[in-house]
Amino acid sequence: QVQLVESGGRLVQAGGSLRLSCAASGRTFSTYTVAWFRQGPGKEREFLAAIGRTADTTSYADSVKGRFTVSRDNAKNTVYLQMNSLKAEDTAVYYCAAAFGFFYSLPGSPGSYSSWGQGTQVTVSS
């Protein structure tokens, strides 16, 4: 399995931007589909975005479409989540997750992903 480490979370004002990074170990990172999830206090884990192995396909939750952008650099074994126009309700712990292989439809269920990072805290002040 691939090992994942998220970074980039911090306190930011509403309306601001952040870029989260998900760094992966292993030389086969390009064989993994990667997604971002978040979990706010007292809430279930929520799908945000996913990206295919070669970045040719992406998928977004309606709640972040147009504000968040997922990308990847397989040469650096890293996936990014650019977050713009942040709102107080975006406050959560953000996780990246990886699933081995190709998917015709990028999955949004946490159970579809076998490798997870420890998470990075994003706090948006209003």
> Coil, strand, or helix at residue 35?
strand
Q: For residue 55, what are its two tokens?
A: 């970045």
Beta-carbon contacts of 86 under 8 Å, excluding residues fewer than 6 positions away, are 12, 13, 14, 15, 16, 17, 18, 67, 122, 124
Report which of 7, 20, 3, 33 is spatially closest to residue 68, judged by C-alpha positions: 20
**pLDDT single digits (tens) 60-87:** 999 999 999 999 999 999 999 999 999 9
Print pLDDT tens along the chain (126 aa): 899 999 999 999 999 999 999 999 977 889 999 999 999 999 999 999 999 999 899 999 999 999 999 999 999 999 999 999 999 999 999 999 999 988 889 999 999 999 999 999 999 999
